[in-house]
Amino acid sequence: MADAKPIERPLSPHLQIYRWQVPMLTSILTRITGHALVAGVVLGVWWLLAAATSDEYFATADAVATSWFGDLVFTGSLWAVWYHYLAGLRHLIYDAGRGLDIPTAEKLGWVCIIGSVVLTVITILLVQ
């Protein structure tokens, strides 16, 4: 019987084999932003409940919501909302059977990423 030499291979495909692609990035961002939206909702609900509870409790919640941390959470949530909106439109295009070829899928992915950032900046500038 011949001696078989074990070959050192990863247990599953890894980034040593695969390179980052836009559809992979947009899929990951959709999941991350979906979960991250919870932070904005929790902060907003806490602020509203504090307003209904007492002046002292509201002062604490308002201090957090209007601090740099609150601005970061609400800005991130705004970006996540725009990203999810554009990703939903992209999936409607996919559901119609269009845009499934690789070049178009990559372009639609960039539209979601760049478009969400642009729409977030426009929204912030319009609200101020």
Show the domains of the chain with their CATH numbers: 22-127 (1.20.1300.10)
Q: With a cut of 90, say whether residue 64 has pLDDT above it.
A: yes
Q: With a cut of 60, say whether residue 33 has pLDDT above it.
A: yes
Is-contact 30 116, C-beta < 8 A? no
Percentage of residues of the chain with pLDDT beyond 70: 90
Q: With a cut of 60, say whether residue 101 has pLDDT above it.
A: yes
Q: With a cut of 70, say whether residue 14 has pLDDT above it.
A: no
The predicted pLDDT at position 40 comes to 94
Q: Residue 96 gets which letter from DSSP?
A: T
Percentage of residues of the chain with pLDDT beyond 90: 77
Buried/exposed code over 88-122 (b: 16+ C-beta within 10 A; e: otherwise): eebeeeeeeeebeeeeebbebbeebbebbeebbee
